[in-house]
Chain A
C-alpha cells in the first residue's frame, strides 16, 4: 500500500486517440439502457467493438439530500438515507443512526448492537445477492437472477417483521429499534438460516466454475490495488484488488469486534474477483448472523433516551412526561451537542461515511454523505478503456454502482 509510481500515474485519455478520432463511432450507452441497471449515461467512442474513450454523465436522479437534511430534525433524516443504496437500505439507516448516537454520546446495549448486526448482515447479503446474480444475468445466465429472488424475498419478509416495509426500510431509531423482534421474525430467521447455505451453493454451482462465466469475467475490467486506493475504492471492489480494508474490522462499530469472521480478498481486481469476493462475503455474513443470533442477549430493544426515542403511544396518552417528550421529539426540540462527527460503516459497496456538523440546533448544520459509489465510479472509464462493449457492461454491474447512491 505504499505510494509508488501508480499513484502519480495519470492516464492520458487522448493518447493514440487524436490521430484516429475522426474514424471512431460515438455510442450513447444510456441514460436509460436496460443493461446498465439504473440511470447512467456513458458516451463511448468506439472502433468496432473496442472502446477508446468514454465520458460519464451523472446526476439524473439527484435529489439534493444534503440540502434536504439541513432542514430536517435528526429523526426525519433516516428515511432519506434509505434512498441512497436501496439494495441495502438498513445499513444506511443504521449508519446514520450510529452517527447521531456518536454525536449525542448515546451508548447502546449489546442486545441492540446484535440486533443491528443481524439486520445489517442480512442487508449485506441481499445487496451482494442482487449484484452477483446480475453479473450472471449480464453474461446470459438469467436463471440465477430469477431463482435467487426467493432468497431475497425471505430477507425482505424479515425486514417487514421488524419495521413494516420492504425496500425503503427506515428500520432503526436513535437509541434502538422501533419494535422488538417478533415471534414471527424468529420463526422466519430460523427458516432462513436453515435454507441459506443450500441456496447459496446453488448459485455457486451455477456460476463459480462455469467455463463460459469464467471466460467472460476473468481479466475483465481489472484494476490494481494501489490504483484502486488512489481512486478511493473501498468495500468489495477494493478487496477484490487485494487490499484487506474493511471498516467492520478497522474501526468496529455496533460490537463487530465480538464476532469471528474473515475478510476475503482477491488478486487481480477483475470482474471475476469482485464476484468471488462477494460470494465469500455472503458466507462470512452468514457466519456473523449465526453467531449474533445464537448469542443474542435478553433485554429491551431500545435504551432509555427520552430525548431521542419516541415513547409508547399508550404512554403518551396516559403520562404527562411522555407527552412532553413526544412533543419535543416531533418538533425537534431536543438539545444536541455542538460538534463535528465523522462516522463510517461498511456499506454494501464500501465505506459509507456520514460527516455531520452540528451547531446545537434542531437540524444538522451540514451533513455530507461519503457515498462509495460516487467515488469509485470515477475509475470506470479507465477500467473499460481498450476493452469490448460487452465487457464494459459486466464491469459496471460487478462494481455494483447504484444510481441512488451515486447521485444522492
Chain B
C-alpha cells in the first residue's frame, strides 16, 4: 500500500471511527467498503474535504454477486483526486430485496446517467434521483438484465450444456 493510500484510509477512519472499515489495496488502487447508510455522507466528505480532495467522479457502476447473502447488489464508485493523481474505489453492498441507495446527483451532475444506467441494468433504486428512468433498454422492459439470474443464452436449450468448460 502506498503512502498516499494509507493517508486516505486514515482520513476516513478518523472521520468515522464508529464504522468498521473493510478495505483492500490491489492493482494500484485502494478500495473501501462503506455501509449503504453512510455512502452519501462519505462521498460528500471525500469531495469537499480539502485533505481528501476527491473532486472527480470517474465512474459509477453496479454489480450483482448472488453468493453474498443480504449483500447481493452493490454500487461501485471510482473517485479521482486530480491534484495528487490518486484514485479511490468506494463500494457499497445491500440486499437485493431492498435495493436502495442515496443518489449522488447532488454532488456530481455526471452521476445522473450513470445512476440511470445502474438502475436500468441492476434495478438499484437511487433515492432522490431527479429522473430515474431506464436509459439504454426499452422503457417497458420488466426485468434487470445484468443480474446474474438471466443467462445470456436461452436457458431452455440442452444441446449446449457446458459440463466441462465454463461456469
Q: Do residues B110 and A353 form an inter-chain contact, with CB atoms below 8 A?
A: no
Instruction: State A291–B108 Cα separation when bound (angstroms).
Output: 39
* Residue in B29, B85, B137 whose CB lies within 8 Å of A342: B29
Q: Do residues B166 and A332 form an inter-chain contact, with CB atoms below 8 A?
A: yes
Given known pairs A342-B78, A378-B112, A378-B113, the reply for A361 and B167 (CB within 8 Å) is: yes
Q: Do residues B56 and A232 form an inter-chain contact, with CB atoms below 8 A?
A: yes
- Which residues of chain B come closer than 8 Å to A339, judged between CB atoms? 26-27
Instruction: Determine whether A47 belongs to the interface, using a CB cutoff of 8 Å to chain B.
Output: no
- Which residues of chain B come closer than 8 Å to A408, judged between CB atoms? 136
- Which residues of chain B come closer than 8 Å to A7, judged between CB atoms? 55, 107-108
Given known pairs A230-B108, A366-B63, the reply for A342 and B56 (CB within 8 Å) is: no
Q: Do residues B152 and A355 form an inter-chain contact, with CB atoms below 8 A?
A: no
Q: Mark A190-221, 1 if CB is under 8 A from B, else 0.
A: 00000000000000000000000000000000
Q: Do residues B165 and A333 form an inter-chain contact, with CB atoms below 8 A?
A: yes
Q: Do residues B165 and A332 form an inter-chain contact, with CB atoms below 8 A?
A: yes
- Which residues of chain B come closer than 8 Å to A333, judged between CB atoms? 165
* Residue in B27, B59, B138, B146 whose CB lies within 8 Å of A66: B146
* Residue in A8, A67, A344 whose CB lies within 8 Å of B146: A67
Tell me, rounded to whole Å, the shortest Cβ–Cβ distance linking A22 to chain B.
23
Instruction: Determine whether A407 belongs to the interface, using a CB cutoff of 8 Å to chain B.
Output: yes
Closest to B83 in A: A1
Q: Do residues B145 and A67 form an inter-chain contact, with CB atoms below 8 A?
A: yes
Given known pairs A64-B145, A250-B85, A355-B78, the reply for A232 and B61 (CB within 8 Å) is: no
- Which residues of chain A come closer than 8 Å to B153, judged between CB atoms? 71
- Which residues of chain A come closer than 8 Å to B82, judged between CB atoms? 1, 243, 245, 250
- Which residues of chain A come closer than 8 Å to B145, judged between CB atoms? 64, 67
Instruction: Determine whether B5 belongs to the interface, using a CB cutoff of 8 Å to chain A.
Output: no
- Which residues of chain B come closer than 8 Å to A231, judged between CB atoms? 108-110
A353-391 residues with Cβ-Cβ distance < 8 A to B are 353, 355, 357, 361-363, 366, 368, 370, 374-375, 377-379
Q: Do residues A67 and B89 form an inter-chain contact, with CB atoms below 8 A?
A: no
Given known pairs A3-B48, A355-B61, A362-B165, the reply for A232 and B31 (CB within 8 Å) is: no
Q: Do residues A58 and B59 form an inter-chain contact, with CB atoms below 8 A?
A: no
* Residue in A3, A245, A340, A366 whose CB lies within 8 Å of B31: A340
Q: Do residues A67 and B152 form an inter-chain contact, with CB atoms below 8 A?
A: yes
Q: Do residues A103 and B27 form an inter-chain contact, with CB atoms below 8 A?
A: yes
- Which residues of chain A come closer than 8 Å to B113, judged between CB atoms? 374-375, 377-378
B133-166 residues with Cβ-Cβ distance < 8 A to A are 135-138, 145-146, 152-153, 165-166
* Residue in B56, B85, B167 whose CB lies within 8 Å of A229: B56
Q: Do residues B137 and A351 form an inter-chain contact, with CB atoms below 8 A?
A: no
Tell me, rounded to whole Å, the shortest Cβ–Cβ distance linking A360 to chain B.
10
* Residue in B58, B138, B165, B167 whose CB lies within 8 Å of A351: B58
A353-B78, A361-B167 known, 17 other contacts, Cβ within 8 Å: A1-B83, A3-B47, A3-B48, A59-B135, A66-B146, A71-B152, A229-B55, A232-B56, A232-B58, A250-B85, A357-B63, A363-B166, A368-B59, A368-B61, A370-B58, A370-B59, A374-B114
Residues of A within 8 A of B (CB): 1-3, 7-8, 10, 58-59, 62, 64, 66-68, 70-71, 102-103, 229-232, 243, 245, 250-251, 331-333, 339-342, 344, 351, 353, 355, 357, 361-363, 366, 368, 370, 374-375, 377-379, 407-408
